[in-house]
């Protein structure tokens, strides 16, 4: 487990997601979209959506588990290569930071409209009317939330069950992002996906928040976790957001438009601080530090388990 994890982590650190390459998450998305078209109609949508979740999650875990078993028995170097590539594809820290930086670069070099358009690629809210500060706030909120979803959670699932569990988490997360909505067309069909994602991210979100405190030494962040962690509409996203708001001494949350509908969200934090590029650079350090600490944690747990055996 350690060799693929180390190689996959280093590959993500150096390259991020290579544009235009085949990617398992794109295959997951295609399978989900097909299931959505076939099943999200007529009656029994809750059952149909649940069946889709069970079938896709089982297929991903079982196929990857047995595929890796076959490779391991056939030729060990092939197993290490495939497993390392799989870990690389499941981590998204460098890509996350690149996307955030791209929004700020567009804002600085091309203006407000360009920043809004670029931001729309990484957030679900309507961006057409956002101010410069609202764009910067959205970028940092996305960095904290996706640090958990895109980095820490996959690593913790890897600890729990290797690459098959890591890929299972990516399927769960992709299901939630595609069908786990509250709007009427997905209210029943996507309910199982949304609930499963909540369960899968329960521990990783809180783990992420506390590691953010660890790597920054921010006592305010610790207070904010307990004060604002449950303020978010999501049962999990509020924890890393609260930690980052405390670290930066800023305010996240508040009302935003989603698909033309105003959604009143509580504020996380108190200080209406003017966010700058310096804050983003600090967030880059936090993301890299949290990722490294989590990788070390996973490796340490694996070594401890082996030692006990």
Per-residue pLDDT tens for 31-73? Answer: 999 999 999 998 899 999 999 999 999 999 999 999 999 999 9
Write out the residue range of the structural domain in which residue 158 sits: 2-308
Q: What is the mean pLDDT of residues 84-106?
A: 92
CA 237, CA 257: separation in Å to the nearest integer? 18
* Closest among 149, 188, 232 to 224, alpha carbons compared: 232
The Cβ of residue 256 has, within 10 Å, a number of other Cβ atoms equal to 21
* The two structure tokens encoding residue 219: 């006592």
**What percent of the chain has pLDDT above 70?**
97
Average pLDDT, stretch 263-279?
Answer: 86
- The three-state secondary structure class of 18 is coil
Residue 262's pLDDT is what?
67
**Letter string b/e over residues 128-162, b meaning 16 or more CB atoms within 10 A of that residue's CB:** eebebebbbbbbbbbbbbbbbbbbbbbbbbbbeeb
Number of domains observed in the structure of the chain: 1
pLDDT of residue 257: 67
Which CA distances in Å does 140 have to 234, 260, 305? 17, 22, 36
pLDDT tens, 173-219? 999 989 988 778 888 999 999 999 999 999 999 999 999 999 999 99
Average pLDDT over residues 96-115: 91
Query: In whole angstroms, what is the distance from residue 41 CA to residue 187 CA?
Result: 12
261 φ/ψ angles, rounded to the nearest 5 degrees: -110, 130
> Does the structure show a pLDDT above 80 at 21?
no
Give per-residue pLDDT as tens, 295-307.
999 999 999 987 8
Q: What is the pTM of this model?
A: 0.93
CA distances, 22 to each of 5, 28, 83, 170 (Å): 20, 12, 15, 15
Whole-angstrom distance, CA of residue 96 vs CA of residue 91: 10
């Amino acid at each position: 487990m350690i060799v693929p994890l180390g190689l996959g982590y280093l590959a993500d650190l150096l390259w991020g997601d290579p544009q235009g390459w085949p990617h398992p998450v794109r295959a997951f998305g295609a399978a989900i979209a097909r299931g959505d078209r076939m099943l999200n109609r007529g009656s029994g949508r809750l059952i149909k959506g649940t069946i889709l979740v069970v079938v896709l999650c089982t297929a991903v875990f079982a196929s990857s588990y047995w595929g890796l078993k076959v490779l391991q028995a056939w030729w060990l170097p092939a197993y290490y290569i495939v497993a390392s590539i799989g870990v690389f594809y499941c981590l998204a820290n460098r890509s996350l930071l690149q996307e955030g930086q791209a929004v700020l670069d567009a804002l600085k070099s091309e203006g407000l409209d360009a920043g809004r358009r670029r931001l729309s690629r990484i957030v679900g809210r309507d961006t057409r009317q956002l101010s410069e500060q609202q764009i910067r706030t959205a970028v940092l909120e996305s960095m904290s939330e996706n640090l958990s979803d895109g980095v820490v959670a996959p690593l913790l699932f890897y600890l729990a069950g290797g690459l098959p569990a890591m890929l299972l988490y990516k399927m769960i997360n992709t299901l939630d992002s595609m069908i786990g909505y509250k709007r009427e067309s997905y209210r029943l069909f996507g309910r199982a996906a949304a609930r499963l994602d909540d369960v899968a991210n329960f521990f990783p979100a809180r783990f992420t928040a506390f590691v953010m405190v660890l790597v920054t030494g921010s006592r305010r962040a610790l207070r904010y976790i307990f004060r604002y962690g449950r303020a978010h509409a999501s049962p999990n996203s509020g924890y890393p957001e609260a930690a980052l708001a405390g670290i930066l001494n800023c305010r996240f949350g508040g009302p935003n438009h989603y698909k033309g509908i105003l959604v009143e969200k509580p504020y996380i934090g108190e200080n209406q601080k003017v966010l700058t590029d310096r804050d983003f650079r600090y967030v880059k350090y936090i993301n890299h530090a949290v990722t490294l600490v989590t990788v070390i944690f996973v490796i340490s747990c694996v070594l401890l388990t082996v030692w006990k055996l």
